[in-house]
Copies of this chain bind each other. A is one copy, B any other.
């Protein structure tokens, strides 16, 4: 059926080793031999089997990409960059959908079965236990968008959520809002860190966690809590949009009567009509960082767990007023 190494060798009248070497970069082959093999290979339409190669070298060039939440527009950027950057390094993403109901043990078994060279978890909601389980299975694992901790037990590339919380609080106070915090699911470490930083500047701020990082969850939550504060830090852009819709439906004008600052800076945050002030996460840097790190761990499996942290920046747009409303405050 498919043409193999031996077919090519036979046609070129050389050994299989010679054929293998012409397709292995850096192997010792004379130009004459290479040309001869290439000619036969082309005539036969030969394509080396990565699978067979993986068999003997022990490297599949496969990277498991584990995703839990496909609903967030941010993931589009993540997929695009991951695939592009892996491809540039000759690696391939094996996509794994780790839904809520899915058994992580099963996902691990499957990735072990394929003998993936490494795993990158792209999720802020995966618990540390999950990440640890992957790493414990002996596969080089990097948790991107994961929790930054002082003594990590798994490689992490993430952002400074605490500082992001501080930035948000400072901005809200500077502009004369009464700060409030609307987070995502309480179990997510990202939410915990952001609220911690936020509280450093706004210790008495009202705090509430929505049930999910979705529009509806933001809408529902904000409908109930909209009077508890005037300037809201929402831990996700989509959540922010839901919250803003609720604020408007309650008759509160953004940004005059209520301010919103989001998180992620997804593409549509900058669209006219949305124009969301938000905190930008350096997605590109995190992803290159994660890929760099996972390849480094592949080369040196016993590397101690390492954390790479990137800063976030404020994207000023239209959902935060520029300063406290003096006239109205006095009126």
Chain A contacts to B: CB under 8 angstroms: 2, 47-52, 54-55, 60, 62, 65, 67, 70-73, 75-77, 79-80, 83-84, 87, 92-97, 99, 102, 109-110, 112-115, 215, 219, 241-242, 244-245, 248-249, 267-268, 271-273
Contacts and interface: CB of A to CB of B under 8 A. Distances in A.
A11 to B, nearest CB: 19
Contact of A272 (B54, B95, B112, B249): B249
Given A76-B76, A215-B268, A84 B113 contact: no
A112 B114 CA distance: 17
Given A114-B50, A245-B273, A76 B71 contact: yes
Given A51-B114, A115-B49, A94 B92 contact: yes
A91 B13 CA distance: 39
A244 B273 CA distance: 10
Contact of A70 (B71, B80, B248): B80
Contacts of A249: 272
Given A70-B80, A93-B94, 11 more contacts: A47-B113, A49-B113, A51-B60, A51-B115, A65-B95, A70-B76, A70-B79, A75-B76, A84-B99, A242-B271, A245-B272
B92 A93 contact: no
Contact of A95 (B47, B51, B83, B267): B83
Contacts of A244: 273
B70 A115 contact: no
A114 B245 CA distance: 48
Nearest to A97: B83
Contacts of A79: 67, 70, 75, 79, 95
A94 B82 CA distance: 13
28 contacts: A47-B113, A49-B113, A49-B115, A50-B115, A51-B51, A51-B54, A51-B60, A55-B55, A62-B94, A65-B95, A67-B79, A70-B79, A70-B80, A71-B267, A75-B76, A76-B76, A83-B95, A83-B96, A87-B97, A87-B102, A92-B95, A92-B110, A92-B114, A94-B94, A94-B95, A241-B271, A249-B272, A268-B268
A72 B267 CA distance: 11
B110 A97 contact: no
Contacts of A271: 215, 241-242, 245
Contacts of A95: 65, 79, 83, 92-95
Given A73-B73, A76-B70, A268-B215, A48 B113 contact: yes
A80 B271 CA distance: 25
A273 B110 CA distance: 43
Nearest to A106: B87
A167 to B, nearest CB: 26
A75 B72 CA distance: 11
Contacts of A248: 273
A102 B96 CA distance: 24
